[in-house]
Amino acid sequence: MATKTKANLKKRTSRQYHDLIDSNVNTLNTDDWFGVDLVPNDIATTALGLNPTWIQNFGGAVLAAGDHTTDTHMLDVLTPTNTLLRMSLALKKVASQGTAVTAAQAGQIFGLTANDGAIIDMTGAAVTTNIIPATLTVNTVTGTTAANLTLNDSATDLASDQDQSLILFNDYIIEASHVLTVGCHANNEHKASANEVIVSGAGTDVMDRQGATTDEHQDIILTASGANTTILAGSFIYLNAGADTDELTIKGCIRTSGGTIAVTYAN
């Protein structure tokens, strides 16, 4: 099959569909399409048909019918499953870049002036490890958890209305049948009505919506199936505080290979 350059394609008076799909040209290499940034700050929202401000894609009927205000995504829990999946795929590049998420990239996610994040390697992590970022920050979680691990309640208090942060995964492994329990801050009990997390089958994009949390629950529990499970790059858990204490919204998409992850909650 001959490689066709962009110049070659432009010379054709009448381009055929198969000319384009057979071409080795990657139109995303420039991250630009007729002046539209497809991958703003390395986050492929526009390329996947999403709002460039990443958080603005949460929500169902309320979001579709209303204004894109900062808290709309908290009001309508039923984000379409395919939207949550695309939101995860949009984060794949920034999750796997090998460096911490920058303030500019976090700003693209939150739509606000944000902070530099950190990479957290879970290999050999202690119970004192805190993976929940400060507000307007993204932490990237990688490494391997080889035994059950219950993290202490987080020192991060998402205390004020619209405090929000993102746990981003980059091929993080939970070995077979092991459990990671992430404790939220004592002031960050969960808001069940705005909770939604979907998980994939092993190595597929067939998604399963997990059960909602319960008001006053405080722990997020990730349980691997009977096989070593890799949480793929771009998978995320998004945390957003409401106007009152103990109104923490949790939204997420966890894509895996090898095994699967079940997401549950506890006090």
Tokens found for residue 44:
């492929």
CA angle 116, 181, 153 (to 5 degrees): 65
What is the C-alpha R_g of the chain? Answer: 19
Kindly report the pTM of this predicted structure. 0.87
Tokens found for residue 94:
């920034």
Please, where are the H alpha helices in 17-139? Answer: 17-22, 61-65, 72-75, 81-90, 92-95, 103-110
pLDDT beneath 50, residues of the chain: 1, 4, 6-28
122-144 confidence digits (pLDDT tens): 999 999 999 999 999 999 999 99
Looking only at the bridges linking them, the beta strands covering 179-183 and 236-241 are unpaired
Q: For the purposes of burial, counting CB atoms within 10 Å of the CB of 27, is it exposed (0-12), middle (13-18) or buried (19 or more)?
A: middle
Length of the chain: 267
CA angle 91, 96, 99 (to 5 degrees): 110
HSE toward the beta carbon, residue 264, CA cutoff 13 A: 7
Tokens found for residue 262:
């079940």
Residue among 49, 92, 93, 101 nearest 255 (CA): 92
- Residue 30: predicted pLDDT: 60
Cβ-based neighbours of 264, under 8 Å, separated by 6 or more? 210, 211, 221, 223
- Checking phi first, is residue 121 left (phi over 0); if not, alpha (psi -120 to 50) or beta? beta
- Residue 159: predicted pLDDT: 87
Please give the Cα distance from 38 to 29 (Å, whole number). 10
